[in-house]
A and B are shown apart, each in its own frame.
Chain A
Amino acid sequence: DSGVTQTPKHLITATGQRVTLRCSPRSGDLSVYWYQQSLDQGLQFLIQYYNGEERAKGNILERFSAQQFPDLHSELNLSSLELGDSALYFCASSVLDSQNTEAFFGQGTRLTVV
């Protein structure tokens, strides 16, 4: 168990809908990352937050948004869903000091858009 919790584990929704994925980082980790894993794209970085502030942005679509709350949990909002958004969405967290540079991943949310 990595200590990173993602909910829900599975989500099935229709095209055009909006969903929210939730992530609770490991205790003490200030940095949260979101990744998308699809069969043909590998692991794609979406966005990173550090202590509530956006720190880095990847190839995140305008239909997607995220935030990190004061209690450090994070939510990824996906709207106007398309079939191609079906993927595994991972959250990861890390401490980000000079020695503890690795990120720990949650089990992921499998999103199926029908």
Chain B
Amino acid sequence: AQSVAQPEDQVNVAEGNPLTVKCTYSVSGNPYLFWYVQYPNRGLQFLLKYITGDNLVKGSYGFEAEFNKSQTSFHLKKPSALVSDSALYFCAVRDNTDKLIFGTGTRLQVFP
């Protein structure tokens, strides 16, 4: 069965520093991977996706993610964090019935 794991419940980073939110996946076949962000009392917003091609995927709000097949990882990154990036981040994988399977989420806290 397809699954993703987010090993960190919370990531703390100072504003201006680079950030990484980790995600590993377990799939059979080629993975379709996604990152979503959830701000308080809001729905999930799509950030970026990996289907095929370049291992470095660029998305919204300056975020990018690196697909690493050998490490089965799809970590979310940003070169310089903003306080406004503080939110809940979800990694997801599309399974063979086309539904999204989500990780448990990582809370990102960016301190001024």
Contacts and interface: CB of A to CB of B under 8 A. Distances in A.
Given A102-B34, A104-B46, A107-B43, A48 B97 contact: yes
Contact of B90 (A2, A43, A48): A43
A56 B102 CA distance: 16
A55 B98 contact: yes
Majority secondary structure of chain A interface residues (helix, strand, loop or mixed): strand
B42 A107 contact: yes
Given A42-B104, A43-B90, A58 B43 contact: no
Interface in B75-102: 90, 94, 97-102
A107 B43 CA distance: 4
Interface of A: 2, 4, 31, 33, 35, 42-43, 45, 48, 55-56, 58, 90, 92, 94, 96, 99, 101-108
Interface of B: 32, 34, 36, 42-46, 49, 51, 90, 94, 97-105
